[in-house]
Amino acid sequence: MFPYPIFHLSIYRIMKPFLLSLFLIPIMLLLLVNPPTTAQTLVTWEAPTPVADASYDNIRPRAEVLGDGTPIVMWGHGNEIYVSTKKANEETFNEPVLVNTGTINPYVGSVEGPTIATHDNSVFVAFDNGNFSQGGVFMVKSEDGGQTFGVVLDIPAPVGTEPILVNIASTDTGNPIASYIALGGSGPTYQVVNTTTDGSSFLEPVTANTAAAGGIVCECCPSTIVTQGETQVLLFRNNNDNIRDMWATKSTDNGATFTEATDIDWLDWYIEGCPVTGPDGVIVGNNLVSVWMSAGSGSSRVYASTVNLATMELGDYTAINSEVAVSVNQNFPRIAVSPSNEVLCMVWQERNEDGWDVYFTWSATGVNDLPNHVERISSVDGNQTNPDITFSNGYFHIFYEDDLTNQLQYTKAKVWDFTTTNSLSPQNHTVQVSPNPFKNNTQIQFHNPQNLLAEIKTYHINGKLVHNTTTYQNKYLFNRKELATGVYLLAVKVGGEIAVKKIIVE
């Protein structure tokens, strides 16, 4: 028996209606060391801060970014949907905005619910009708960055079918794309619906899973659609005689037809019911990178794979965190990418004897390195679920539910690239280390004119914290003590800014 919920469609129908800290938490620094010709990358973390208080319920957050890089997060509360944007130059968020859903009571659930997409200052929110006897899937649009929302639009479905589990995306030109499961007819199918009018009206739905084996899809697993130019790729869980693998199907004509498909999931998971969990993905260069959950190995685990978009051939693939007990349950992975250096970051939830925790990993060299940087986001055991992740302006923005406080939490991770430099710092916060390299002692100096508390942390290149101290001065005499010969990372945080520098112990 598998350690995760399995829902047949009938059961699914019944169950469907279900501090800003003063200082950074200890920075989880992970440095990937490669041959000299390969980029060196570093990730630093900031402390979690609440987005909205417990009164907003904060169910199943989903995150995007606006055209200027501002993170925007959406979540559910009863039969309501809220959004909030991050304040400029602050780590707090604006007052939540209630999304207009007209006379429709949207379905909001802990594992399935509304979805969000953005393009520049446009925000698209799509949702199912929570009144299942009426049915339907809908979209509403904001043109002012989520401050106000317009009229509710009915997303068309094939005659005689019932659409459920809508997902929304946007093309490079700002036209929203909806995908959903159509129940009825010869079996569940996945439909993709495009627009050519910035979401003012929709084109006719197109069956997208025709090229996948079996001809029907898993009846209650949500999808993801990703785009690049005229290419649209739908990621979904297929159902080929109860082999419920993840598939990708591709259109090269702006969603008019989907003629190619490939099995991106090598596990051949046989299951006589719906596991209620779907994939996520991003396009990185010429490759599709996908993440999902499968219990094809006998335990619920999260995985990642790549597919060459030109040939639709499966490339690299890996389990993410397989070195855990059989009883551990992993689920709901999400992924984002830093386009400039193709750094991948991934989050998911994982259940052990202490409850659910949110985990994070990253890679600068493709999916096969993702298992090497796994970290838990929070230091509190068993209280985090439903993470999401997005990227802008050098940061990965991460949102998740804190079940202990019933708050929606936000944290961010910064990507540093050491390809051409030995130090990275803000304009007014530089660090000097002399001598460097050194054998026993070295003097660390940094900008601290107001004598603020300075945190000085030293990490081995494998991510282990090896030295930690604080001072109110602008310098510190560093003694190697028991540090072995090698390269380390020195991180100095003063007044909310971090400077990072390589140091060498001889």
8 A C-beta contact, residue 314 and residue 263: yes
What is the pLDDT at residue 462? 57
Confidence (pLDDT) at 4: 41
Q: What's the CA gap between 139 and 242, in Å, rounded?
A: 32
Q: Say which residue the tokens 């109860």 belong to.
A: 242
Query: Looking at the predicted structure, is the pLDDT value of residue 42 above 70?
Result: no
| The pLDDT of residue 3 is above 50 | no
CA atoms of 454 and 413, how far apart (whole Å): 20
pLDDT interval class at 397 (50, 70, 90): very high
Q: Measuring CA to CA, which residue among 369, 409, 370 is closest to residue 387?
A: 409
Q: How far apart are CA 74 and CA 491, in angstroms?
A: 33
d(CA 63, CA 173): 20
d(CA 145, CA 97): 11
pLDDT in tens, 312-360: 999 999 999 888 888 999 999 999 999 887 889 999 999 988 899 999 9
Report d(CA 196, CA 194) in Å as an integer. 7
Q: Mean pLDDT, to the nearest integer, of 413-434? A: 67
Tokens of 337: 């990418």
Q: What is the pLDDT of residue 24?
A: 32
Strand partners, 45: 413
Residues 187-245 pLDDT 10s: 899 999 999 888 889 999 999 999 999 999 999 999 999 999 999 999 999 999 999 99
Side chain identity at residue 305, one-letter code: S
Which of 12-16, 56-60, 110-114 shows the lowest mean pLDDT across its residues? 12-16
Check: CB of residue 293 under 8 Å from CB of residue 305: no
Q: Which of 107, 99, 54 is nearest to 79 (CA)?
A: 107
pTM for the predicted model, two decimal places: 0.83
Peptide bond into 437 cis (omega under 30): yes
Measured in residues, the chain has a length of 506
Residue with tokens 């995908």: 179
Hey, which CATH number is domain 423-505, 2.60.40.420, 1.20.1250.20, 2.60.40.1220, 3.40.190.10? 2.60.40.1220
**Domain locations in the chain as residue ranges:** 34-417, 423-505
Q: Is the pLDDT of residue 418 over 80?
A: no
Judge whether 204 and 230 are in contact, CB under 8 Å: no
Distance CA 171, CA 117 (A): 10
* 404: confidence class by pLDDT, cuts 50, 70, 90: confident
Cα atoms in the Cβ-side hemisphere of radius 13 Å centred on 321: 27
**Rounded Cα gap, residues 467 and 478, in angstroms:** 10
- The arithmetic mean of pLDDT across residues 144-170, rounded, is 96
Q: Which of 135-144, 279-288, 482-491 has the lowest mean pLDDT?
A: 482-491
pLDDT at 279: 98
Q: Is there a cis peptide before residue 435, judged by omega within 30 degrees of 0? A: yes
Could you give the count of Cα atoms lying within 13 Å of 324 in the half-sphere of its Cβ?
20
- Please count the other Cβ atoms lying within 10 Å of the Cβ belonging to residue 120: 12
Q: Which residues are CB-neighbours of 35 under 8 A, at least 6 positions away?
A: none
Q: How far apart are CA 349 and CA 488, in angstroms?
A: 31
Q: Is the pLDDT of residue 368 over 50?
A: yes
Residue, of 422 and 178, whose pLDDT is higher: 178
Residue 233 makes CB contacts below 8 A (sequence gap 6+) with 225, 226, 227, 248, 249, 250, 251, 281, 283, 288, 309
Q: With beta carbons less than 8 A apart as the criterion, state whether 124 and 130 touch.
A: no
Measure the CA–CA gap between 185 and 182, rounded to whole angstroms. 9
Q: How far apart are CA 111 and CA 444, in angstroms?
A: 49
Bridge partners (DSSP) of residue 291 are 280, 304
**How many other C-beta atoms can be found within 10 angstroms of the C-beta atom of residue 189?**
23
- Output the pLDDT for position 14: 37
Nearest-angstrom CA–CA distance, 385 and 371: 20
Topology of domain 34-417 in CATH is: Neuraminidase (2.120.10)
Do the beta carbons of residue 312 and residue 264 sit within 8 Å?
no
506 by Cβ neighbours in 10 Å (0-12 / 13-18 / 19+) ranks as: exposed
